[in-house]
């Protein structure tokens, strides 16, 4: 089965978890993150410009974007939507413990042309989150 939600087209083979009732939740989450990032980006730019002027620096710092971890991604629907609908996301790791789900995440990222942003992972969510926190 293929379903379209937001700007994402997702392949959902039989047995893959999908809760259509949560579409509204995903819509709201995207709106909130988009708003937060716009505010955060503006603050980053303002702070960088102020610092550049005060210290005579010719170029302010570069905003590299937001890195996101979706630890329990299933089909990768939320991850694909984030990558397509939130412009300031630069990297997104979509994880699931099930190897078939991790493969599906990669396929769905490719179908939606966001494989340069969305990386599939097959790992224990707790271990992955701890590893990601060490990468800071």
Alpha helices (H) in the chain, listed in sequence order: 23-55, 77-85, 99-111, 125-134
Q: Which residues of 93-128 are buried (b: 16+ CB within 10 A; e: fewer)?
A: bbbbeeeebbebbbbbbebbebbebbebbbeebeeb
pLDDT at 133: 76
Domain locations along the chain: 2-134
pLDDT at 8: 98
The CATH class that applies to domain 2-134 reads alpha beta
Q: Looking up tokens 């997702």, which residue turns up?
A: 10
pLDDT at 54: 72
Residues of the chain with pLDDT under 50: none
pTM of the predicted model, to two decimals? 0.84
pLDDT in tens, 112-122: 999 999 999 99
SS3 27: helix
């Amino acid at each position: 089965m293929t379903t379209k939600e937001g700007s994402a087209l997702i392949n959902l083979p039989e047995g893959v978890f999908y809760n259509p009732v949560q579409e509204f939740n995903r819509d709201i989450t995207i709106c909130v993150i988009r708003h937060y990032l716009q505010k955060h980006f503006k603050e980053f730019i303002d702070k960088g410009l102020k610092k550049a002027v005060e210290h005579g620096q010719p170029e302010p710092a570069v905003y590299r974007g937001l890195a996101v971890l979706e630890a329990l991604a299933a089909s990768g629907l939320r991850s694909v939507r984030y990558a397509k609908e939130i412009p300031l996301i630069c990297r997104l790791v979509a994880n699931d413990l099930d190897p078939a789900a991790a493969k599906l995440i990669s396929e769905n990222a490719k179908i939606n042309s966001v494989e340069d942003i969305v990386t599939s992972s097959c790992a224990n969510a707790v271990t992955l989150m701890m590893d990601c926190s060490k990468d800071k």
